[in-house]
Amino acid sequence: MASDTYARALAVAALAMAGMQAQIRAIPQEYVAAQGEVGRQGGRLVVALRSEPKTLNPILSVDATSREIIGAMNSDLVHINRETQRTEPALAKSWSISADGMKYTLELRHGVKFSDGAPFTADDVVFSFQLYLDEKLHSPQRDLLLLDDKPIEVKKMDAYTLEFDLPKQYAPAERLFDGLEMMPRHLLEQPYHEGKLAQMWGTNSKPGEMVGLGAFRMKEYVPGQRMILERNPNYWKTDGNGNRLPYLAELTFEFVPNEDAQVIKFQSGETQVLERISADNFGLLQKEAKTKGQCLSDLGPGLEFVFLFFNMNRLDPGKAPDVVAKQAWFRDLRFRQAVSLAMDRKGMIRLVYGGRATPIWGNVTPGNRLWLNANLPHPEGSLDDARKLLQSAGFSWDSSGALLDAQKRPVAFTVLVSSSSAQRSKLATIAQDDLRQLGMDVQVVPMEFRALVDRVLNTKDYEAVLMNLVNGDVDPTPEMNLWLSSGETHLWDLGETKPATAWEAELDHLMEAQMTTAEYTARKKLYDRVQEIVAQNLPFIFLVSPNILVGAQSTVGNFRPEILEPYGLWNADQLFIRASGAARCP
Amino acid sequence: MNGHRRILFLMIFLLALHLFLIFPGFFSPYDFSGQNRHLPFAPPSRLHFLDVAGTFHPRPFVYDWRESMGNPGGAYEEDHTRMYPVRFLKSGSPYSIIWGWRGNLHLFGVDEPGRIFLFGTDDFGRDEFSRMLYGGRISLLAGLLGACIALFVGGLLGIISGFYGKWVDATVMRVLELFLALPWLYLLFAVRAVLPLRIKTTDVFLLLVGVMGLVGWARPARIVRGIVLSVRERNFVLAARAMGASDLHILRRHVVPQTISTMLTMAALLIPQFILAEVTLSFLGLGVGEPIPSWGNLLAELQRYSVLTSYWWMYLPAIALVALFLAYHMTSVALQERTVMVNL
C-alpha cells in the first residue's frame, strides 16, 4: 500500500506543479490545486455543532468538536483524502521511504505562510513534533507517535527537508501525519519554554493570538453561541483556475446542543450544512427537502459498528458469584452463535434506522472499501438453527418455554446500554425480544454512559453490553488495542497476560504481522484472516452499522460528503455559496 | 347538577376508569410487548361499516395496514384484499389477571393475521391502545398506593404532632422540614446506582411507590397538624377532657373526624400528583423498564422531534392522562365545596 500511495502522491504533486506553470507569476509559491468545481469567492456558511470546543490548541484537543474547528484552522503534513481513503501530500509535497521502512524523508512546500504572514519551514515541523511528544503536555496524539514505547525521531535536514526515524517498522506510518497540525514556532516557542503552552489557545484566546496554516482563521467567539472563522488570505491551496482558496469569506459554527433543534434550524435555512443526522430526522427532512431546496445524502455505512458482547473476564468467584456462574454460557461458542443467529438485524435496521443502516457480521463495515473482507459468511438469522445449537450445548427448555442450562438453571442475564442513545436502547429492546424467542430472560438496563464504561473497563461488574465503536481511520492498525490480548480495549477479556484461547493467540500474531508488513496485498491477506477469526469466534456479536446521513442547502457548492470525519466539512476550503438561481443538488 | 349528585357522578366515572385500567388484560386486544416488526408507527385502524364495493355490514370491520407502494418505510395504506370483522369476547393471547389467575378472554379483537390498532402502534409496532391500558395500571396503582402511604404516614404524624405538641411537635416538624428540603431527584439517581442491575419489575414498582410515599408525607402532615392544633382547643374537646375522656377517646371521637374531609380532598390532589411523579420518573428512565409500559415511558417517546411532528396518535396517552386528572381535580373541588358547606 505504501508504495502505491507514494506513486499516487508523486503523480498528484506533479499534476499540481504542471498546473502551476501558467500561474507562476501571479502567485510565486508552490500551491497545490484542489480538484472540484471552480466556485465563486465570498459568502458565509453556517454549520451547527452539538457542543462547544473545549480548546483550540491542536496539541491538547480530544473531543470531536474541537477537532473539527481546529481542522478548519490548521493543516497537516500528509493528509488522508476523504474520498479515496488514501494519503495525499499536504504541507509536505512529497515523501520517500527507505528500503527497510524505518526512515521517512519529507520534502516541504516552499513559500507556504502562516495566517500572520510568517514563513513555514522545517523548524516549525521539528517544534510541532517536540510539542506532540512532550510528556508533560499529555497530548492525546503522543501515544500514536510511540512505537514500542519509543518515540519517532524528527531531524531537520535543511529548511525544507525532514527525516523521520521510526523505532520499528510501522506500515501505515504516513497515515499518522493526518490530523497532526503544524504549529507556529515563532509564536509558541517562548510560551513553551516558560511552561505556559497548555494555557495557550484556549477558547478565551483573542483571535489575533491564534495562527495556523488552515483555510480559515479565528474572527470572533461568542461563548455559548457561535464561533466565526474568516478566510485565511495566506492559505496554500488554489482551485483549478489558480484562484486562491478558500472561497468562503466566513465559516460560522453555531452551538446547538440538541439534534432536534439542529434539524429545525436547518429546516428553516438558518444553517447550511447538517452532519450526523439520525435516521428519524433524516426521514422527516426528506419529506420537504425538494420544496425547501435541501440536498440530503445517505452515504451508506460509516466506520461505526454496533455490537453485543458478553463478560468473559476472569473474575474472582468470591466477588461476583452471579456473573461467574453465567460465564459458563458466555464462554460457550455455541451459546454466542445461537445469540447471533437469533438477532433480527433486518428488523433492527427497519425499526431503529428506518432502513438506513447495514447489517454486519464482522468488525469492518462495507464503508471501509480498502480493508473489508467481502468473503465473510453472512449466516441468515434462524431461530431453529439457534435452538439446535443450544440443544447441542446442553441447554433445554421447561414447560413454559424458558431456557435452562445443563444444571437446570434458567438462562437470565442483563444487557447494559447507554441511556443517552435512543437508538441503542431501541436495539437492546429488539434484541431482548429476539432472545425471548429462545427462552432467554433478558433485562435491559439503561445506564449513564460513563458509569457503563466504568463497569466495562474497571469494575467488570456486568453480564452483557450493547455498545458501539467508531474507527477513526480505515487502516487496521488503530484496532491493535482491541484485538491484541494485552490491548487496553480488549473489551470482552481485559488484561490477559497471555492469550486465553488459541484463536486469540492467532489474532495477536496476525495483528503484529500486519503492522510490520509494508505491502498492501500482504497486509490485506493478514487482516482478512483477522476478520474471519473474529466472525467465527464471536467475541463480539456484530449487529448493524448505521449509515452516515448528512444534508446541505442546495446553495452550497462542492459539497461532497464522505464517511470519514468530518463528514461534510473535510473540503471546507472548497465549499462555496452558489449565486441565487444556480442552486442544485450534486 | 347539585353538589351531591356531581360528586356521585364523578366518583362513578373515576371508578369506571379505574376498573378499565386495573383489568387491562381483558379490555385490551393484545399483549403489551407483542411486536409487529413490519408495522412500526402504523396509524390507528379505521372502523368500517361499508366495504370498498359499498356494501353495508352490520358488524364493524377493519382492514390491515400495508406499506404504501412507492413510499416504502414511510406511509401506510389499507389492504383491501381481506376484511377482518371485529369480534367481541374473543379468546386471544393469555394474560394474568391478578396473583396467578390467568385468562385469555379479550373484550374485542379480530381474527389472525389481521390486526386492530385502536390507537395505532409505536416504533416497534406494538399496539398503543393495549400499552396505554397496561401502562395506566402501573401509573394508577403507583399513584393510588403512593397517595395511601403518604396520607397514612402524614395523617398519623400530623395528628400526633398537633395533639401532643411540645417536643413531639418540634421533633416531627424538624424532620418534616428536612424531608421538604432534600433534593429528591438526585437522591433517586443515587439510590438507583446503588441497587443491583437486575431488579424485578415488581420491586422497581414497590420502590417507586415507597419513594413517592416517603417524599409525599410531609405536606399532608403539616396541614393535618394545623387542623388538629385548632380542634384541640375547641370547647367540645375541652369539655370532653373535663369529663375525664382519655386521649384515645378524644382523638377517635372528636379530632380525627374533623380531619377526614381535608384528607379526602388531599387524596384527590395527591393521586394525580403521584401519577405525575411516576410519569416524571419513568420519563427520566428511573421507573419501570422496557418492555413494560407506563404512561411515563409512553410519553417519553414524544421527546423525539420526529415522533412529535409525525405521529399524532402518540399523544393519546397524554389525553387519557388529562381526562383522569380533570376528573380527580373536579372531584377535589366538589369535595372542598361540600366541606365548606358542612362547616357553615
B94 contacts B104 by C-beta, under 8 angstroms: yes
A262 to A82, A410, A550, B151: CA distances (angstroms)? 25, 46, 12, 46
Residue B40 lies in a domain: no
Looking at mean pLDDT, say which of A248-252, B155-159, B300-304 comes out highest. A248-252
Residue A431 has pLDDT above 90, yes or no: yes
What pLDDT was estimated at residue A16? 37
Residues B112 and B214 grouped into a single domain:
no
Q: Are residues B218 and B280 in the same domain?
A: yes
More confident residue, A583 or A506: A506
Residues from chain A that touch B74, judged by Cβ atoms under 8 A, are: 283
Per-residue pLDDT at A100: 85
pLDDT computed for residue A310 by the predictor: 97
**pLDDT given for residue A250 in this prediction:** 96
Give the pLDDT of residue B233: 86
| Rounded-to-integer distance, Cα A221 and Cα A233, Å | 20
CA-derived radius of gyration, chain B: 25
H helical segments located in chain B: 3-22, 24-27, 128-164, 166-181, 184-194, 201-216, 218-232, 235-242, 247-250, 256-283, 295-300, 305-310, 316-343
- Closest Cα in chain A to B282: A446
Q: Which residue has the higher pLDDT, B206 or A375?
A: A375
pLDDT at residue A253 in the model: 95
- Summary mean pLDDT of chain A: 88
Work out whether strand B56-67 and strand B48-50 pair parallel, antiparallel, or are unpaired: antiparallel
Is the confidence at residue A263, as pLDDT, over 60? yes
Q: List the grid coordinates of A536.
A: 467465527
Tens of pLDDT along A518-543? Answer: 889 999 999 999 999 999 999 999 99
Q: Does any CB of chain B come closer than 8 Å to the CB of residue A354?
A: yes
A507-539 core/surface letters (b: 16 or more CB in 10 A; e: else): bbebbebbbebbebeebbebbbbbbbbbbebbb
Interface check A451 vs B, CB under 8 A: yes
The pLDDT of residue A496 is 81
Give the position of cell 492469550.
A499
Nearest to B212 by CA among B233, B231, B191, B229: B191
Whether B112 and B135 share a structural domain: no
**Overall average pLDDT of the A245-271 stretch:** 93
Q: What is the pLDDT of residue A179?
A: 87
pLDDT for the residue numbered A27 = 40
Tell me, yes or no, if A404 comes closer than 8 A to chain B by beta carbon: no
Q: Is A451 within 8 Å of B306 when comparing Cβ atoms? A: no
Question: Which of A281, A352, A429 is opposite residue B290, by nearest beta carbon?
Answer: A429
Mean pLDDT (chain B, rounded) = 84
Position A397 pLDDT exceeds 60: yes
Q: Which residue has the higher pLDDT, B23 or A5?
A: B23
- CA–CA separation, A270 vs A285, rounded Å? 14
Residues B101, B150: one domain? Answer: no
Within 8 A of B34 by CB-CB distance, chain A residues are: none
What is the predicted pLDDT for the residue at A4? Answer: 37
Using CB atoms, pick whichever of A280, A433, A451 lies closest to residue B306: A280
Asked, for residue B243, whether it belongs to a domain, the answer is yes
State the virtual CA torsion across A29, A34, A39, A45 in degrees, nearest 10: -100
Segment 270-299 of chain A within 8 Å of chain B by CB? 278, 280-281, 283-284
pLDDT confidence tier of residue A15, bands split at 50, 70 and 90 = very low
CB contact under 8 A, A354 and B73: yes
Percent of all residues in chain A with a pLDDT value above 70, rounded to a whole number: 95
**pLDDT band for position B1 (50/70/90)?**
low
Question: Are B80 and B163 part of one and the same domain?
Answer: no
The answer to the question of residue B323 being in a domain is yes
Sheet holding A103-108, edge to edge: A92-97, A103-108, A161-165, A153-158
Per the domain annotation, does B213 fall within a domain?
yes
Give the Cβ contact number of residue A329 at 10 Å.
25
What are the C-alpha distances in Å from B337 to residues A5, B333, B342? 86, 6, 9
The residues that bridge with B109 in the sheet, in sequence order, are B87
Q: Are residues B139 and B62 both part of a single domain?
A: no
One domain for residues B158 and B77: no
Contact A310, A463 (CB under 8 A): yes
3-state DSSP call for residue A459? helix
Mean pLDDT value of segment A54-81: 91
Q: Residue A30's pLDDT is what?
A: 66
Last residue of a domain, one of B88, B116, B144: B116
Higher pLDDT, A17 or A366: A366
Residues 458-497 of A with CB under 8 A from B: 462-463
Poorest-confidence range of A60-69, B58-67, B89-98? B89-98
Q: What is the mean pLDDT of residues A96-122?
A: 91
- The per-residue pLDDT for range B266-291, each reduced to its tens digit, is 888 888 888 878 777 776 667 777 78
Most confidently predicted of A331-340, B18-27, B138-147, B327-336: A331-340
The pairing of strands B48-50 and A403-404 is unpaired
- What ipTM goes with this model? 0.76
* Rounded Cα–Cα distance for residues A367 and A377 (Å): 17
The pLDDT score that the predictor gives to residue A205 is 87
State in Å, rounded, how far the first CA of chain A is from the last one: 31
Residue indicated by cell numbers 404512561: B295
How far A366 CA sits from the closest chain B CA (Å)? 22
pLDDT of residue A287: 86
Task: Look at residue B341 in the predicted model and tell me its pLDDT.
Answer: 65
| Chain B CB within 8 Å of residue A230 CB | no
Contact status, residue A350 vs residue B123, Cβ threshold 8 Å: no
Domain identity same for B221 and B323? yes
pLDDT at B252: 86
State the Cα–Cα distance between residues A109 and A170, nearest whole angstrom. 25
Reported as type and span, the H/E element at residue A276 is none
Domain assignment present for residue B25? The answer is no
Instruction: Name the grid cell of B343.
Output: 362547616
* Maximum distance among all Cα pairs of chain A, rounded to whole angstroms: 88
Whether residue B285 lies inside any domain: the answer is: yes
Nearest to B216 by CA among B175, B163, B180: B180
Residue B19 inside a domain? The answer is no
Confidence category of residue B74, pLDDT binned at 50, 70, 90: low
Contact A419 B37 (CB under 8 A): no
Q: Which of A429, A398, A410 is nearest to A329 (CA)?
A: A410
| Structure confidence by residue, pLDDT tens digits, A358-377 | 999 999 999 898 899 999 99
Whether B289 and A260 lie within 8 Å, measured CB to CB? no
Mutate to test the interface with B, among A259, A415, A429 (most CBs of B within 10 A): A429
Instruction: Verify that B143 and B109 share a domain, yes or no.
Output: no
Q: Which of B290, B303, B314 to mutate to test the interface with A (most CBs of A within 10 A)?
A: B290
Report the length, in residues, of chain B: 344
The answer to whether residue A344 neighbours chain B at the CB level (below 8 Å) is: yes
- Give the pLDDT band (50/70/90) at residue A1: very low
Instruction: For residues A460 and B90, give the distance between their C-alpha atoms in angstroms, rounded to a whole number.
Output: 49
pLDDT in tens, A84-94: 888 999 999 99
Which residue bears the cell 414524544?
B302
Which domain range does residue B77 map to? 45-116
Measured between beta carbons, the chain A residues lying within 8 angstroms of B306 are: 260, 278, 280-281, 283-284
Q: Which residue has the higher pLDDT, B306 or B71?
A: B306
pLDDT at A37 over 70: yes
Structural domains of chain B, count = 2
Among A433, A447, A450, A452, most B C-beta atoms within 10 A, so best to mutate, is A433
- Indicate whether B251 and B140 sit together in one domain: yes
> Strands A412-418 and A464-470: what pairing?
parallel
Confidence of residue A9 (pLDDT cuts 50, 70, 90): very low
* C-alpha to C-alpha distance for A540 and A308, rounded to whole angstroms: 6
Q: State residue A473's pLDDT score.
A: 84
Determine, for residues B306 and A445 on separate chains, whether the beta-carbon distance falls below 8 Å.
no
Asked if residue B3 is part of any domain, the answer here is no
Based on the fold, state whether residues B50 and B164 are members of the same structural domain.
no
Contact list, A347 vs chain B (CB under 8 Å):
37
d(CA A1, CA A521): 7
Nearest CB neighbour to A429, from listed B73, B285, B291: B291
- Mark yes or no for CB contact B124/A281 under 8 Å: no
Q: Give the confidence band of A72 by pLDDT, cuts at 50, 70, 90.
A: very high
**Contact: B305, A429; criterion CB under 8 Å:** no
Q: Report the percentage of chain B scoring pLDDT > 90.
A: 13
Domain with B303 in it: what CATH number?
1.10.3720.10
Tell me which of B116, B144, B167 is where a domain ends: B116
Residues 6+ apart with CB under 8 A from B58: B49
Name the grid cell of A252.
Answer: 460560522
Considering the domain architecture, whether residues B152 and B286 belong to the same structural domain is answered as: yes
